[in-house]
A and B are shown apart, each in its own frame.
Chain A
Amino acid sequence: MLTISETRRRYAAGETTPTALLESLHQEIIARDPAIGAYLSHDLDSALAEARACDLSLPLGGVPIGIKDNIAVYHQPATCGSRYLEHFVAPYDATVIRKLRAAGAIPFGRLNQDEFAMGSSTENSALGKTCNPHDPTRIPGGSSGGSAAAVAAKLAIATLGSDTGGSIRQPASHCGVVGLKPSYGRVSRYGLVAFASSLDQIGPITHCVDDAALLLQAMAGHDPADSTSLNAPVPNFLTEINAGVRGKKLGIPKEYFGEGIDPEVRSLVEKAIAALAAQGAEIVDISLPHTSYAVATYYVIATAEASSNLSRFDGVRYGKRASQVADVLDLYQKSREQGFGAEVKRRIILGTYVLSSGYYDAYYSRAQKVRALIRQDFQNAFSQVDAILSPVSPAPARKIGAAVTDPLLDYLSDIYTIAANLAGICAISVPCGNVTSEEHTQLPVGLQILGPPLAEASLLQIAKAAESATLA
């Protein structure tokens, strides 16, 4: 398995070079990605030019990183999985890209996603289908499905995704890789195409917990270009990462193990909890009493923010423009009708409805108040425990096409991941075993670890212990 540290070791030992590695990744993508569909595009020549000039002494020197197609890389496409932006070319680098470059990394490849990150299966991409590398009849999860599938298929060393309600953690769980959603404000959102601005965060999807820490280290910190990025010190995420869980208090929320969870998923997560207890963690039963409101709260707030954010797509400044229009209103309406897919339209309509006159207080104001209650639940919990353990998703990856006529089914499967975004806390998915499907494929299952705002160092330390337990 080619991790970031293994890549760096090979460079240092002279076993390979950044250009040779990029050439071989390119060959692998050409040969194997047509069956997986993780990449929407990749530009070998520009990456090779960067590789020739890279500084191997930097922390990520010469390491190629795959990028979700909603994060801007100068002069590369950023389609967001949408027909609307099919021919869009980013006019600047996102702050995370600028920081990764400063740490020596090379952005390489654009990864498939649900259109504008709306979905949890990558089936809502207008530009391609992505399969789960562990079972091609199943979804990779989403919305960062391409980012997780690329790592799982060993077509990338590490990738970036974005997480608004679980879009890094759930595909990481379904694909058997590590996915970290940093605390809200830990990483700049400048250059991430906005879906729901109060919930979106960029984070890494990697083979191992150490790599997630390395990428977070390079990306974290205040950015004047994102006024919601927190002006808080960035600790070294690696110094304590091997310190283990002895003495850590880990909370088990009863609401996350109730009705609706697949019994095999539950059993694997409980095994991981037992393994952490065996390493000296103290397991504490806790309650997050407003959990049952999280999905409803999320789908009011996220769609309200989306309807506002996506109003920028007006057929004037970039992207799709309908031809044959009568006037400017017709231009807006036809360009958006032709450029957006069904799920994006559904969410824009839902968001417009909950913000419309007469419904605003009943839906949007109320959801904002319930959000405060959910945040309070976590504040109370973190006064008792260092972190919380739960499943990532109630079931392993479902079959492709299974939820197409009932979008609510997919919304409900986000139950364990969305509260972290509403509360602004950090969370990570770490593989904790496989379930054998009826077709005898091995479907990965993830353990979710949730930590207080800005407690990524402690979160990664616990994740590393969980990872060692499952590898042992």
Chain B
Amino acid sequence: MPQQSIDVRHIARLARLELTDEEIAEFQPQLEAILGYVETLSNADVSAVKASAHGHEVFGPMRDDVPQESLALEDVLRNAPDSFQGQFRMPKVVTDA
């Protein structure tokens, strides 16, 4: 298993979390202690084992492609921080050419 050092700032960026310096200082030793504990998994002999993603083998069943009733627009948009003309509004994503 890899060393238990973790670049918290880099991982936070991957997770789209903007941590404060204080949070990074707090999390760093805590996360390294947890990863140190997780290291015990390297003692398990898994050479003959297939990975298991679920307690039971459930394979993505498909439903028939039939339109179903959806949620009411007003119920959905009620929770939106910002909406306009029945749609979610967010900062501009595309830049001008």
Contact = CB atoms under 8 A, between A and B. Distances in A.
A16 B92 CA distance: 59
Interface string A72-109: 00000000000000011101100000000000000000
B55 A453 contact: yes
Contacts of A349: 6, 8, 11-12, 15, 17, 27, 31
Contact of A366 (B12, B42, B55, B76): B42
A241 B80 CA distance: 47
Interface string A351-369: 0111010110011011111
Contact of B40 (A293, A318, A325): A293
A412 to B, nearest CB: 8
Contact of B30 (A337, A407, A423): A407
Contact of A224 (B51, B60, B63): B63
Interface stretch (A38-46, A202-210, A309-317, A440-448): A309-317
Chain B interface, >50% SS class: loop
Interface in A419-447: 421-425
Interface stretch (A29-37, A148-156, A279-287, A296-304): A296-304
A227 B13 CA distance: 32
Interface in B1-53: 1-2, 6, 8, 11-20, 23, 26-27, 30-31, 33-35, 37-44, 46, 49-53
A375 interface: yes
Interface in B67-81: 71-72, 75-76, 78-81
B33 A408 contact: yes
Contact of A89 (B72, B79, B93): B79
Interface residues of B, number: 57
A228 interface: yes
A296 B26 CA distance: 21
Interface stretch (A164-172, A266-274, A338-346): A338-346
Contact of B53 (A331, A336, A368, A373): A368
A130 interface: no
B76 A370 contact: no
Contacts of B55: 183-185, 198-199, 375, 421-425, 453
Nearest to A366: B41
A319 interface: yes
Contacts of B38: 296, 299-300, 354, 363
A333 B93 contact: no
A394 to B, nearest CB: 16
A371 interface: yes
A321 interface: yes
Nearest to B43: A293
A146 B88 CA distance: 34
A369 B49 contact: yes
User: Looking at B17, B18, B82, which has the most chain A CB atoms within 10 Å of its CB?
Assistant: B17
B58 interface: yes
A350 B42 contact: no
A230 interface: yes
A207 to B, nearest CB: 29
B81 A348 contact: no
B34 A337 contact: no
A238 B56 CA distance: 26
B7 to A, nearest CB: 9
Contact of B91 (A227, A327, A424): A327
Interface of A: 87-89, 91-92, 183-185, 198-199, 224, 227-228, 230, 290, 292-293, 295-297, 299-300, 307, 311, 314-321, 325, 327-334, 336-337, 340, 342, 345-346, 348-350, 352-354, 356, 358-359, 362-363, 365-373, 375, 406-408, 411, 421-425, 453
The 8 closest A-B pairs by CB, nearest first: A424-B55, A321-B81, A368-B51, A318-B79, A333-B18, A91-B75, A372-B52, A369-B46
Interface of B: 1-2, 6, 8, 11-20, 23, 26-27, 30-31, 33-35, 37-44, 46, 49-56, 58, 60-61, 63, 71-72, 75-76, 78-82, 88, 90-93
9 contacts: A91-B79, A293-B43, A321-B81, A336-B16, A349-B15, A352-B14, A356-B11, A365-B51, A423-B55
